[in-house]
Chain A
Amino acid sequence: MFSVATFLSSFEPLFWAARFTLLISVLGIALGLVIAALVCAAALSRFAPFRWLAALWVSFLRGVPLLVQLLLFYYLLPVIGIDVPALVAAVVTVGICASAYISEIWRGAIMALPTGQVAAATAIGMAPRDIWTRIILPQAFKLSLPALVNELILLVKASSLVSVVGILELTRASQAQAATTFRPLEVYLAAACIYLLINLFLAALGRYLEHRLAV
């Protein structure tokens, strides 16, 4: 029998764990955005070694599963004498991993802009800095929003992997809860609802931003 009472009472402890899920995803993507900006700039640089570094960064981080990256990072840090809490290690790893995908999203958006727009700006004597901030980035950012929201949602779901370094996020907490209550169906359904809620909210936020930036 499905117990509505167990289903409802599962929410409270799971919400608590979901805060880690959100924290890791949001901080992870925030860090990812910052690193991605640098990686993207390097990928578009006129200086070839920068482009090689960016390509290396992207292909390594996209080619190795996040789970392996988490474990690598978690066990590597103490070896080189850095002792950080698991949560920090998780955020940094998620951020680094996200940066590879986000930088490619941005590179794609920038390359999708017709080159004539830059030619027109150059021809009237605009400086490169103004061309970037006034012509390229506003358009590329708007163009990249749907893909960024997509990436954020993927991250929220992938954040369940950080349980391997001992963080009790939503999925791990549900497993524990299911084991103690012997009510897996109710507990996992509650967990599914929370994931869905988070991601519906993120999707709505993305659409709102897109709308705000609409021409």
Chain B
Amino acid sequence: MPGASSVEIRKVNKHHGQFHALKDVDLDILPGKVTCLIGPSGSGKSTLLRCINFLDEYESGEIRIDGQLIGYQSPGGARMPGRTLREIRRSIGMVFQQFNLWPHMTALGNVTEGLIRVRGLPKTEAERRAREALEKVGLSDKMASHPSRLSGGQQQRVAIARTLAMEPRLMLFDEPTSALDPELVGEVLNVMKTLATEGMTMVVVTHEMGFAAHVADQVAFMEKGELVSVDVPDKILHNPQDSRIKAFLRTYHERNSF
């Protein structure tokens, strides 16, 4: 994909109140590659993801998207003006566990909203692009439906279309299938696989180890706010060296065997 973004994360620290949620995290996310973040609950995966588009404000260290620092004017410097921050966010898509659609708008309205308000497109052009995006996720027949009338899988695909329509160069996914019934997980993962093969840069927090094993280019394991290890999926998922990863995978396999 032309213009897929890269992300450099250097020595990033973040507190939630007293709680040290990210400790000197380093990670390189390469353009057009899929990075999966795994780790136990509370290890800081969502926090790290939300720092990448500055929804969560990291306190020290640097996060650079295509070389541009996000959130601050310079490392350790003053906060970036809101307008500049919004400009950077335009090209970063984010998909949430709870979909976070706007319930008072139709599927089409959810997708056109950003195109009209953020990109400033005229309504007809916004609707044309929104229809395209909804078709891409297989929802051409649900455009006029409100979110409450859609299944979880359909809602999540609308949420993906909403970010895709903005033509992002980087997509962040926070457990996009965790709130879905098992039979609906596949339809969302399929859309994500398509994006991956098209060369979108993706960062995916997930508990779907199958997705991590088959689609990811690299897997990063986090625990207690630290990025313990990052490597190709096979090294992390099948031949982990670190005892913490072994313990995590053991509980994962126990929970998923029957």
Given A116-B100, A139-B103, A139-B104, are A126 and B146 also a contact pair (CB < 8 Å)? no
Q: Which residues of B contact A117 (CB under 8 A)?
A: 100-102
Contact A124 B114 (CB under 8 A): yes
- Tell whether B148 is near chain A: CB-to-CB under 8 Å: yes
Query: Complex formed: what's the CA distance from A138 to B113 in Å?
Result: 14
B71 to chain A, nearest CB (A): 13
Contact with B along A116-155 (1 / 0, CB 8 A): 1101111111111010001100110010000000000000
**Range of interface residues on A (Cβ < 8 Å):** 20 to 34
Q: Which residues of B contact A134 (CB under 8 A)?
A: 113, 117
Query: Complex formed: what's the CA distance from A134 to B96 in Å?
Result: 20
Q: Which residues of B contact A119 (CB under 8 A)?
A: 55, 94, 96, 100
- Tell whether A114 is near chain B: CB-to-CB under 8 Å: yes
Which chain B residue shows the least CB distance to A130?
B117
Q: Which residues of B contact A130 (CB under 8 A)?
A: 117-118
Q: Of the 9-residue stretches B21-29, B61-69, B84-92, B220-228, which lies at the interface with chain A?
A: B84-92
Given A142-B104, A215-B103, are A124 and B98 also a contact pair (CB < 8 Å)? no
- Tell whether B210 is near chain A: CB-to-CB under 8 Å: no
Q: Which residues of B contact A126 (CB under 8 A)?
A: 86, 113-114, 117-118
Instruction: Classify the secondary structure of A's interface with B.
Output: helix
Contact A120 B118 (CB under 8 A): no
Query: Complex formed: what's the CA distance from A117 to B101 in Å?
Result: 6
Contact of A116 among B92, B93, B96 (CB under 8 A): B96
- Tell whether B33 is near chain A: CB-to-CB under 8 Å: no
Contact B53 A120 (CB under 8 A): no
- Tell whether B162 is near chain A: CB-to-CB under 8 Å: yes
Which chain B residues have a beta carbon within 8 Å of chain A's beta carbons? 53, 55, 82, 86-87, 89-90, 92-94, 96, 98-104, 113-114, 117-118, 146, 148, 159, 162-163, 166
Q: Can you identify 22 A-B contacts, CB atoms within 8 angstroms?
A: A116-B98, A116-B99, A116-B100, A117-B101, A117-B102, A120-B94, A120-B100, A120-B102, A123-B55, A123-B94, A124-B90, A124-B163, A125-B87, A125-B118, A126-B117, A127-B82, A127-B86, A130-B118, A135-B102, A138-B104, A215-B146, A215-B148
Which chain A residues have a beta carbon within 8 Å of chain B's beta carbons? 114, 116-117, 119-128, 130, 134-135, 138-139, 142, 215
